[in-house]
Amino acid sequence: MSEKILELSLSFLQIGSFSIGGGYAIISLIEELIVNRYHWITLKEYTDIITISQMTPGPLAINASSFVGLKIAGIFGAVAATFCCVFSGVVISLGGYCFFCRHRKSDVIMNILQGLKAVATGLIGAAGAGILLLSLTGQTEFSVHINHFDFYALAIAIVSLFLLRRFKIGPVWLMGISAVAGVIFY
């Protein structure tokens, strides 16, 4: 049992340390370790986790570590795997933050931060465009051929954007309203 927890912890430490960029960049890394190397879960179970991840809150890596940990070594396994999965990222983030705070007066450092902000804008923009594409066409990758166009989704997105910008509506309300709209439309 403790051996399994150790193995779990080390694998998720590795997953947590080598997945940069978040989101879907890490799908193949997780698959490589927990499906192909250790055979903790089957490929079918793994694709199910990805589906569940899209329906429930929380990052994919956390969902995967909770699921695998729970299955292999119960609740302690889940906690250990999740802890190891976030550990190195949190330590490096805090170190980076302290570093930038200490060098706030340096021109070079502030320029790097400015650059990182611009990159973040582009990446979030791409993620937003990807989600919009998924919502409107059901496709996950950009292409000129569109088989199906969902006008209800377009309507929900436009009304949401209007409510957000004009009335500063909170995300809690917006998600609730759009869920109800989804049930009515589809």
Partner 1 sequence: MERKSLLFRLFWLFKANIIISCLAVGGGYMILPLMKKQFIDKAKACDFDELLEMYAIAQSAPGAIAVNLSAITGYKLARLPGAVVSCIAAVLPPLLIISAVTVCYRQLVDNHAVNAALKGMIAAIAAIIIDVVYEMSKNVARSKEMLGLFTAAAVFYAAFILNFNAILLIIFSLAAYAVIFNIRNRLKK
Please state, in angstroms and as integers, the Cα–Cα distance from residue 63 to each residue in 8, 18, 25, 57, following that order: 14, 17, 15, 9
Among the listed ranges 2-10, 15-23, 31-39, the one in contact with partner 1 (CB under 8 A) is 15-23
- The CA-CA-CA angle for residues 167, 173, 177, to 5°, reads 100
Number of shown-chain residues binding partner 1 (CB under 8 A): 96
**Cα–Cα distance measured from residue 185 to residue 181, given in angstroms and rounded to the nearest whole number:** 6
Minimum CB separation of residue 124 from partner 1 in Å reads: 5
Please state, in angstroms and as integers, the Cα–Cα distance from residue 144 to each residue in 133, 138, 139, 182, following that order: 12, 14, 11, 27
Minimum CB separation of residue 32 from partner 1 in Å reads: 15
Q: Which amino acid is at 51?
A: T
> Which of 4, 7, 50, 59 is close enough to bind partner 1 by CB under 8 A?
59
Among the listed ranges 2-10, 31-39, 92-100, the one in contact with partner 1 (CB under 8 A) is 92-100
The reply to whether 35 sits near partner 1 by the rule CB under 8 A is no
Among the listed ranges 1-9, 30-38, 106-114, the one in contact with partner 1 (CB under 8 A) is 106-114
The reply to whether 71 sits near partner 1 by the rule CB under 8 A is yes
For residues 48 and 17, the answer to whether their CB atoms sit within 8 Å is no
Those residues with Cβ within 8 angstroms of residue 174's Cβ, 6 or more apart along the chain or in another chain: 160, 163, 164
> Which of 6, 32, 42, 97 is close enough to bind partner 1 by CB under 8 A?
97
How many other CB atoms are found less than 10 A from the CB of residue 34?
A: 26
> Which of 10, 43, 146, 161 is close enough to bind partner 1 by CB under 8 A?
161
Among the listed ranges 2-10, 30-38, 172-180, the one in contact with partner 1 (CB under 8 A) is 172-180
CA 138 to the chain's CA centroid = 19
Minimum CB separation of residue 39 from partner 1 in Å reads: 18
